[in-house]
Each structure stands twice: as structure tokens, then as C-alpha cells.
A and B are shown apart, each in its own frame.
Chain A
Amino acid sequence: GDSVTQMEGPVTLSEEAFLTINCTYTATGYPSLFWYVQYPGEGLQLLLKATKADDKGSNKGFEATYRKETTSFHLEKGSVQVSDSAVYFCALVAKRALEGGSEKLVFGKGTKLTVNP
């Protein structure tokens, strides 16, 4: 079945450090890919998305590029801030395998990021 694998956390960085959180996927065809972020005590919110190969999603200084050849969607930020401390989830929606089939959002297990001043 469709699945998402994220790098194990937690990740601890100092302010202004470079961030990479790895995400690879297994899916039929070419899924849509997402990064969601969960700040402490809150629900998830969409950070960025990409819907086809070589697309780059970007938001709030974060970027991720849809790499079909490596089935990856790694999240990067050049200079993290304390306010970026959160749990980051990679997710996918696979295209329907059959007409009338349902689509579901499949999440990775999440990577907790802590940024220290």
C-alpha cells in the first residue's frame, strides 16, 4: 500500500542553522505530496504541497521539491528560527487506482524539530 517514510527525530538545531527533514514515499503512480506542521498544542496546518514531478513547494522560507526519480520530497530551510519548533509531517494522496475508488491522505510518523536560541 501507499506509505511515507520520514527521518526519525527528534531533531535539535541552533537558531540560523540549515534544516533538512528527509521524506520518501511508496505509491502507485504519481501522488500529490504535502508537508504539514503541528505547533505545540495545536492541530496540523498545511505548510506546502507539490502535485507533479519537479514541482517545488515553498512557504515561510521552507522548500521541498518533488523528485520522481528518487521518490522523495525532502523539506529544507536555510535558516531556522525558534518559532519553527514544531512537529513536521510528510503526507501523500495517491491517485485512484480504479474508477470510483477512494483517495486517502497518508501521513508519515512525524519529525519533531526543536530550535534553540
Chain B
Amino acid sequence: NAGVTQTPKFQVLKTGQSMTLQCAQDMNHEYMSWYRQDPGMGLRLIHYSVGAGITDQGEVPNGYNVSRSTTEDFPLRLLSAAPSQTSVYFCASSYGSVRNEQFFGPGTRLTVL
């Protein structure tokens, strides 16, 4: 099993550009989520999904969109990048619910100039 994979590992964008961060898991997990990690802030939930076709907002959803057309994939879209979105982004998945062990991807380091 590859576990949770994220691409790209690094990305530099200019303000106003759009992009999609990819996340995929091969464990047939229902629950998937996106977090951003900023210095001194811990991890903050952006969006999450409890299954294919179902998504919901987390703590900091503004400026981000998600969709969940398959169980395996949960892409995160930045519609118009801003410097405040410079961060490290982690995707996570788990069997069942958020109460179970979360498996994290290796992260995407995004810089917005």
C-alpha cells in the first residue's frame, strides 16, 4: 500500500494564480480531510469529507474548494492564491470517522509570492 500520497511536494505561485493540490489514498478510507500547518498555529482543518459525494467546511475554508467524486481522491483547489495561503498542507484519511487513527500524507509546501 502506498498509503496517503500528495502531489506536488513543493509549489511556488504568484498572487492570483490557481492550482490544485492532489491527495489520494489506497486504503478505502471513508473519511478524508485537509489541514494547513503554520508556525505556532498547529494544524487547522480546511475541509473534510465523510465519503464520496459529501464534503463540508472546517475551521478555515475561505479561498479553498474541494470535491470528492471517488473514495480514493480528495483534491484541494486554491481559486486565487494569496500570500496568506503560504503554508504546509497535509491531507489525511481514516477508516470510518475522525475518531479513528488519521493517516497523513507527506505534505505540500506552498509559497505564494
Chain A residues within CB distance 8 Å of chain B: 32, 36, 41-46, 49, 51, 89, 93, 102-105, 107-110
Whether A110 contacts B42 in the complex (CB less than 8 A), given A43-B4, A43-B90, A103-B97, comes out as yes
Point out residues on B near A: beta carbons under 8 Å. Answer: 4, 33, 40-45, 48, 56, 58-59, 90, 92, 97-99, 101-107
> Which residue in A45, A102, A109 is a CB contact (below 8 Å) of B41?
A109
A89 x B98 contact (CB < 8 A):
no
- Are A44 and B99 touching (Cβ within 8 A)? no
Number of A-B contacts (CB under 8 A): 48
A42 to B103, CA, bound (A): 12
Q: Which one of A44, A45, A109 has the highest number of Cβ atoms from chain B below 10 Å of its Cβ?
A: A44
- Using A32-B99, A104-B58, A104-B98 as known contacts, say yes or no to A43 and B43 having CB atoms under 8 A apart: no
Pick from A43, A102, A108: contact of B104, CB under 8 Å: A43
What are the residues of chain A within 8 A of B41 when measuring CB–CB? 109
**B91 — nearest CB in chain A belongs to which residue?**
A43
Contacts of A102 in B (CB 8 A): 56
The 4 closest A-B pairs by CB, nearest first: A43-B104, A109-B42, A107-B42, A107-B43
A60 vs chain B, min Cβ distance (A): 15
Q: Is B40 in contact with A109, judged by CB distance below 8 angstroms?
A: yes
Closest to B104 in A: A43
Q: Is the CB of B42 within 8 A of A89?
A: yes
Q: Please name 26 pairs of A and B residues whose Cβ atoms are closer than 8 Å in the assembled complex, sorted by A.
A: A32-B99, A43-B104, A43-B106, A44-B102, A44-B104, A45-B103, A45-B104, A46-B101, A49-B101, A51-B99, A89-B43, A93-B98, A104-B45, A104-B58, A104-B59, A104-B98, A105-B33, A105-B45, A105-B102, A107-B42, A107-B43, A108-B42, A109-B40, A109-B41, A109-B42, A110-B42
CA distance A18 to B103 in the complex (A): 28
**B63 smallest CB distance to A (angstroms):** 19
Q: Which residues does chain B contribute within 8 Å of A108, judged by CB atoms?
A: 42
